[in-house]
Structure 1
Amino acid sequence: MRTCLSPNSVAVVLGTRPELVKLAPLIHELGDATRLVHTGQHWDEAMSGRFLRDLDLPRPELLTGVGGRPRAGQIAQSLGQLDAAFAEDRPAAVVVQGDTNATLAGALAANAREIPLVHVEAGLRSYDRAMPEEHNRVMVDHVSDLLCAATEDNVANLRAESLDRGRIELTGNTVVEVVRRQLPDRAARAALLAAHGLRPDGYVLATVHRPENTDTAEALGAVLAELDRIARAGTPVLFPMHPRTRAAVERFGLAGLLERLAVTEPVGYGDFLGLANHAALLVSDSGGVQEECTVLGRPLLVVRRSTERPEAMEAGFAALVQPGEELGGLARAWLSDTPERLARLAATPSPYGDGLASARIAALTAALAGRGAEPVVPLAA
Structure 2
Amino acid sequence: MRQPRIAVVVGTRPEIIKMAEIVQLLGPRAMLVHSGQHWDDAMSGAFLRGLGLPAPVASLAVGGQTRAMQIAETIRGLESLFDRERPAAVVVQGDTNTVVGGAITANALEIPLVHVEAGLRSFDRRMPEEHNRVVTDHLADLCLAPTTNSRDNLLAEGIPADRISVTGNTIVGAVAAVLRATLETTYARIEELGLTPDDFVVATIHRPENTDDPRRLTTLLDNLAAIAERTRVLLPLHPRTRGRIASFGLDAKLAPLTLLDPLPYDEFVGLCAQAAFTISDSGGIQEEASVWRRPVIVVRRSTERPEVIGTFAHLCEPGHGLVREALALYAAKEFTIAQLAQLPSPYGDEHAAQRCLDALDQLVENRCV
User: Does structure 2 retain, via aligned residues, the 8 Å contact 1:119–1:148?
Assistant: yes
Residue 245 (structure 1) aligns with: 241
SS at match of 2:269: helix
User: Does structure 2 retain, via aligned residues, the 8 Å contact 1:290–1:309?
Assistant: yes
Matched letter for residue 214 of structure 2: A
How far apart are the structure 2 equivalents of 1:255 and 1:262? 13
Residue 47 (structure 2) aligns with: 51
Pair 1:96 & 2:97 matched: no
How far apart are the structure 2 equivalents of 1:37 and 1:232? 45
The alpha-carbon distance between structure 1 residues 105 and 128, as it changes in their structure 2 partners (threshold 3 A), is: same
Pair 1:357 & 2:352 matched: yes
Pair 1:229 & 2:226 matched: yes
Residue 19 (structure 2) aligns with: 23
Residue 270 (structure 1) aligns with: 266
**From 254, 257, 272, the counterpart of 1:261:** 257
How far apart are the structure 2 equivalents of 1:216 and 1:84? 37
How far apart are the structure 2 equivalents of 1:91 and 1:245? 37
Residue 334 (structure 1) aligns with: 329
Residue 325 (structure 1) aligns with: 320
Residue 203 (structure 1) aligns with: 200
User: Does structure 1 retain, via aligned residues, the 8 Å contact 2:4–2:88?
Assistant: no
**From 4, 9, 15, the counterpart of 2:5:** 9
Aligned-residue offset at 1:194: 1.1
SS at match of 1:79: helix
Per the normalisation by structure 2, the TM-score is: 0.96
Residue 219 (structure 1) aligns with: 216
Q: In the TM superposition, what whole-angstrom CA distance separates every residue of 1:261-299 from its partner, at most 9, and x where no partner exists? A: 111111111110010000001000001100000000001
Residue 376 (structure 1) aligns with: none
The aligned runs of 1:78-89 (5 Å cut-off) are: 78-89=74-85
Q: In the TM superposition, what whole-angstrom CA distance separates every residue of 1:207-233 from its partner, at most 9, and x where no partner exists? A: 111111111221111111111111123
The aligned runs of 1:59-208 (5 Å cut-off) are: 59-183=55-179, 184-208=181-205
Pair 1:343 & 2:342 matched: no
Aligned-residue offset at 1:65: 4.4
Aligned-residue offset at 1:8: 6.1
Q: Among the aligned pairs, what percent are the same residue?
A: 50
How far apart are the structure 1 equivalents of 2:59 and 2:350? 32
SS at match of 1:122: coil
User: Does structure 2 retain, via aligned residues, the 8 Å contact 1:305–1:322?
Assistant: yes
Q: In the TM superposition, what whole-angstrom CA distance separates every residue of 1:359-381 from its partner, at most 9, and x where no partner exists? A: 01111111111189xxxxxxxxx
Aligned-residue offset at 1:45: 3.5
Matched letter for residue 162 of structure 1: G
User: Does structure 1 retain, via aligned residues, the 8 Å contact 2:88–2:112?
Assistant: yes
User: Does structure 2 retain, via aligned residues, the 8 Å contact 1:151–1:171?
Assistant: yes
User: Does structure 2 retain, via aligned residues, the 8 Å contact 1:126–1:134?
Assistant: yes
Aligned-residue offset at 1:6: 4.5
SS at match of 2:137: helix
Matched letter for residue 259 of structure 1: A
SS at match of 1:45: coil
Aligned-residue offset at 1:243: 1.3
* Number of matched pairs: 366
The aligned runs of 1:296-311 (5 Å cut-off) are: 296-311=292-307
Aligned-residue offset at 1:185: 2.7
Aligned-residue offset at 1:253: 2.2
When the two chains are superposed, the root-mean-square deviation of aligned CA atoms in Å is 1.5
SS at match of 2:202: strand
Residue 377 (structure 1) aligns with: none
SS at match of 2:259: strand
Matched letter for residue 309 of structure 2: M
Question: Which sits farther off after the overlay, 238-247 or 38-47?
Answer: 38-47
The alpha-carbon distance between structure 1 residues 296 and 46, as it changes in their structure 2 partners (threshold 3 A), is: closer
Q: In the TM superposition, what whole-angstrom CA distance separates every residue of 1:101-151 from its partner, at most 9, and x where no partner exists? A: 111111111111111111000000011111111111000000111110000
Aligned-residue offset at 1:47: 3.6
How far apart are the structure 2 equivalents of 1:274 and 1:148? 28
The aligned runs of 1:356-375 (5 Å cut-off) are: 356-370=351-365
Aligned-residue offset at 1:200: 0.4
Residue 287 (structure 2) aligns with: 291
Aligned-residue offset at 1:43: 2.0
SS at match of 1:119: strand
The aligned runs of 1:27-46 (5 Å cut-off) are: 27-46=23-42
Q: What 5-or-longer segments of structure 2 have no aligned partner?
A: none
Matched letter for residue 236 of structure 2: P
